[in-house]
Amino acid sequence: MRRIILSAITLSLFAGSAFGSGAPGKLRKDAGPVHPQSMAASYGASSSDYSPASSPFGDREFNFKATASFTSEYVFRGQQRAKHSAQGGVEVSTGGLYAGAWAILPTEDAFNAYQTEIDVYGGYGFDLTDRVYADVGVTGYLYNSPQLLFAKKDSVEAYFGLAFDTFLKPSLYGFYDFETKDKTVETSLEYSLPIGRTDFLLGATGGYTSGRGYDYLYLQTDAEIVYNFNRQASIGVGGHWAISEDHQFLNGLSFTGNDSTWYGITLKARN
């Protein structure tokens, strides 16, 4: 299995080179540096707003962003944490500083198997060079507490990442969770093709997580069509596929294997 996932990560990372260049950076939000938990790959959100050109670094005005979405699954770092769910968040930034909150509310949960999750994050992004961007911050994960053996507990995670304003916009992030002791390394690429008001997006994310007595690889690919009503509002529809060595892809209380396919629709607004 590990050999399959490693091969798939390699293929997905190099497959995008056939589509040309000029893609916006996946790891740079329109309203500030990317928060790793709210990546398009994690939430099925549109990634058309991850653009180095629109980074607020050096801009001391306040920027605001709001996102609302529905996904047929919530998959995070190779784990299926919910089926149908409503998600949304807000973020404010000024200069390189940013802070925000994101919520995941499962809407299909016949066995009370999934948890409501609220993420609160903040960080600082800065330019290392003209084409290399750094991002450092902290995320707090807050969960409700159902009587489940595998229920997740509240935790705090620190992260540091680099994003490169080059072909396919590669990025590399590291995460450390102080509660679970999980350590994750994640890399991603993205290609974007703008046609008029519509953006066609392709992305790939691969990672490795290790914790107390376990470790696993995961891979996710994303394809999305985003229609921009104007500079302040957009809607995106996307399809996603993930595979993982971790066997926590759950459907209610029954295991469904180590890969999954799902869709999402996202609305975004910003000032």
Mention every residue, 6+ apart, whose C-beta is less than 8 A from residue 161: 27, 34, 36, 134, 135, 136, 171, 172, 173, 174
pTM: 0.78
Q: For the chain, which domains are there?
A: 2-270 (2.40.160.40)
Nearest to 101 by CA among 148, 35, 164: 35
Confidence grade of residue 174 (pLDDT, cut at 50, 70, 90)? very high
129-143 pLDDT, tens digit per residue, is 999 999 999 999 999
88-125 pLDDT, tens digit per residue, is 999 999 989 999 999 999 997 767 778 899 999 999 99
Mean pLDDT calculated for residue range 235-248: 87
47-97 pLDDT, tens digit per residue, is 344 344 344 444 468 999 999 999 999 999 988 888 899 999 999 999 899
Confidence grade of residue 3 (pLDDT, cut at 50, 70, 90)? low
Q: Quick one: pLDDT at residue 29?
A: 35
Residues found in the chain: 271
In the block, which residue shows the tokens 């330019």? 127
d(CA 266, CA 87): 9
Cα angle 50, 55, 57 (rounded to 5 degrees) comes to 150
* Largest Cα–Cα separation, the chain: 51
